[in-house]
Amino acid sequence: MMTPTRISRTTLAFMASASMGAMLMSGGAVANDDVKERIGTHVNHPITGGDYQQTRYSEMDQINRDNVHRLVPAWTFSTGVLRGHEGEPLVVDGIMYVHTPFPNNVYAIDLDTREIVWAYEPSQDSNVIGVMCCDTVYRGLAYGSGKIFLQQADTTLVALDAKSGEEQWSVKNGDPAIGETNTNAPLVAGDKVVTGISGGEFGVRGFAIAYNIEDGSLAWKAYSTGPDDEMLVDPDTTTAMGEPIGANTGLDSWEGDEWTRGGGTTWGWFSYDPDLNLLYYGTGNPGTWNPEQRPGDNKWSMTIMARDLDTGEAKWFYQKTPWDQWDYDGVNENILADIEIDGEMRHVMVNFDRNGFAYTLDRETGELLVAEKYDDTVNWATHVDMETGRPQVVDEYAPGVQGADVNVQGICPAALGYKDQQPASFSKQTGLFYVPTNHICMDYEPYEVSYVAGQPYVGATLSMFPTPDSFGGMGKFIAWDAAKGEVVWEQEEAFAVWAGALTTAGGLAFHGTLEGHFKARDVDTGEELWSFRTPSGIIGNAFTYEHDDKQYVGVLSGIGGWAGIGMAAGLEGDSEGLGAVGAFRGLYDHTRLGGTLTVFALPDFE
């Protein structure tokens, strides 16, 4: 059992706090209620995304469009780790919990003293780094029932006592020897903690898995491909586009046994609707990037899944990219919102997929309501058929149609999508979605590849470049109307906007840039109102909290991730990093490695 490092002075002060002791007592309360209670207060940021709906919206307005120009750094914290820093810290009644990429250290920081209360530094086999696809990132912690949940890269899920950092239990949900790793943030809901698995580029068979939070015992496990019973589907009651999916779809849509290495990994974000008791998440690419080796729809990769939290049973699926030929992983966040469509209030889910289409679905039934391009330069498909839900593919830009060993040129978007995992925000103030996007295209040449456990199972060579005949940059920050399927405004950026957004009742949208700028924009116009240069490129997510009646806004900087893999891993060839190194070579002129948390506030003086 790993023993946390303690800083005695602050630990004593921390443990002497009666309010913290009462708040963190585990016991009778169900974790769902524990988390929900804290979501409703400004002093807390107890869940990645800010709420179960993953809106990344705050009602705080102390910092607003009239005074944001006065924002200054309040304090900083160096993580001591050089790889890419994704996600955001948690804040639970006066304590901030900061995570790092591999080796996945956790630091508990007292917000009164800004001292380290405890540090948990796990010991992991460094060989796991070699089977992590796109940098050693980690997207965040989870809190519930007095515990902090850490999902390590080596697939170990650890429950730590939030007050002391002592390990309560741990379980392994994968095997790095066959390419299984973890980068996702877990989710606590009800009496369960839910997590996923990474490794689609290594032929991993994806799944979501839930554990009971009190003791780490297995609650359920649902695969993305394969037999119905292993996928936790009922062929008669699980639906897609309003119809029962039928028997054996996770087998019959694959050639031979390709489903056993069929990807559909679950390294993205989890959302939850407490009223429906439904868990939502997306599944990734279908194994090898050479589509000739896996003809068929490859169900249920590239799919939004809605499952009963208690049992894991699937209620409905929506497959966004059947027979994926471009590596458009379908794992991006599903934001739950209530919006008016055609004069009727609808309880919806909104998803900005890597494939360049934004989807609005009824989150109870899976009915497809809107599917439109959020970047009009998407060329691999003309549109989505609203009757079938299928994208209408353009053969000229389809590597599976053109065949192996053919370099298909000018596909838009590139494999990293017009948006990757960097999460968008829904403003309850404006009813719009604020989306950090990429603006990058690619050439794609598939080739035959053999499966060897624990070795890359890719089978394609890529090169990436800014979208041709456009403004020359590689990113945009946009406002999106999910009812109409329209861009309201967009602001161009030199590089992909690889950092998660935050909106507030102060009329602001925050996001970072790969060069390291942390920006505040007017939600109505997109005008840049304030910017601060952080120590490294930003791929982390903006967050906000209140302490001693003062609002703070923070972000993790630390270049890396797929976009920054060249710098993070020391790669030099243009086609290395699955094609990203050449596209982002210009970052060397703007930033360097290094993880730092920077927290901002308004100064106490006028």
Write the DSSP string, 17-47.
-HHHHHHH--SSS-HHHHHHHHHTSTT-B-S
327 is catalytic: yes
Q: Give the separation between CA 210 and CA 471, rounded to whole angstroms.
A: 45
How would you classify residue 201: left for phi > 0, otherwise alpha for psi between -120 and 50, otherwise beta? alpha
Element (H, E) at 208: strand 207-212
Average pLDDT, the chain: 94
- Lowest mean pLDDT segment, chosen from 12-21, 193-202, 589-598: 12-21
Instruction: For residue 569, give the DSSP letter.
Output: H
pTM: 0.95
**DSSP secondary structure of 105-116:** -EEEEETTTTEE
What share of the chain in percent tops pLDDT 90? Answer: 93
**DSSP secondary structure of 396-433:** GG-HHHH-TT--EEEESS-TT-SS-S---EE-TTTS-E
Convert the pLDDT of each residue in 132-178 to its tens digit.
999 999 999 999 999 999 999 999 999 999 999 999 999 999 999 99
- Lowest mean pLDDT segment, chosen from 38-47, 329-338, 382-391, 555-564: 38-47
Two structure tokens written together for 460: 């394609």
- Considering 110, 327, 329, 443, which one is annotated as catalytic? 327
Two structure tokens written together for 19: 């309010």
pLDDT greater than 90 at residue 4:
no
Query: What per-residue confidence (pLDDT) applies to 362?
Result: 98
pLDDT greater than 70 at residue 34:
yes
Alpha carbon 207 to its chain's center: 16
pLDDT greater than 60 at residue 22:
no
Over range 238-256, report the average pLDDT.
98
For residue 11, what pLDDT band results from cuts at 50, 70 and 90? very low
Q: Give the separation between CA 52 and CA 415, rounded to whole angstroms.
A: 28
Over range 485-490, report the average pLDDT.
98
Check if the beta carbon of residue 34 is closer than 8 Å to that of residue 144: yes
Alpha-carbon distances, residue 29 vs 15, 190, 213, 497 (angstroms): 21, 10, 12, 40
Over range 475-492, report the average pLDDT.
98
What share of the chain in percent tops pLDDT 70? Answer: 95
pLDDT greater than 70 at residue 312:
yes
Over range 574-603, report the average pLDDT.
95
Query: What per-residue confidence (pLDDT) applies to 32?
Result: 80
Convert the pLDDT of each residue in 50-73 to its tens digit.
999 999 999 999 999 999 999 999
For residue 605, what pLDDT band results from cuts at 50, 70 and 90? confident
Check if the beta carbon of residue 83 is closer than 8 Å to that of residue 540: no
pLDDT greater than 50 at residue 296:
yes
pLDDT greater than 50 at residue 512:
yes
CATH code reported for the domain at 5-10+45-57+68-601:
2.140.10.10
Which residue type is seen at 368?
L
Convert the pLDDT of each residue in 41-52 to its tens digit.
889 999 999 999
pLDDT greater than 50 at residue 15:
no
Query: What per-residue confidence (pLDDT) applies to 215?
Result: 97
Query: What per-residue confidence (pLDDT) applies to 21?
Result: 35
Place of tokens 């370099």: 407
Over range 241-262, report the average pLDDT.
98
For residue 31, what pLDDT band results from cuts at 50, 70 and 90? low
Place of tokens 């409703």: 40
Convert the pLDDT of each residue in 395-442 to its tens digit.
999 999 999 999 999 999 999 999 999 999 999 999 999 999 999 999
Map out the domains of the chain as residue ranges: 5-10+45-57+68-601
Residue from 572, 509, 508, 566 nearest 537 by CA: 566
Over range 259-274, report the average pLDDT.
97
SS3 206: coil
Q: Give the separation between CA 494 and CA 476, rounded to whole angstroms.
A: 8
Over range 270-287, report the average pLDDT.
97
pLDDT greater than 60 at residue 5:
no
Element (H, E) at 167: strand 167-172
Query: What per-residue confidence (pLDDT) applies to 30?
Result: 61
Buried b / exposed e along 514-542 (16+ C-beta atoms within 10 A): bbbbbbbbebeebeebbebebbbbbbbbb
pLDDT greater than 90 at residue 16:
no
Alpha carbon 485 to its chain's center: 22
Alpha carbon 8 to its chain's center: 35
For residue 206, what pLDDT band results from cuts at 50, 70 and 90? very high
Query: How far separated are the first and last CA of the chain, in Å rounded?
Result: 51
Convert the pLDDT of each residue in 516-546 to its tens digit.
999 999 999 999 999 999 999 999 999 999 9
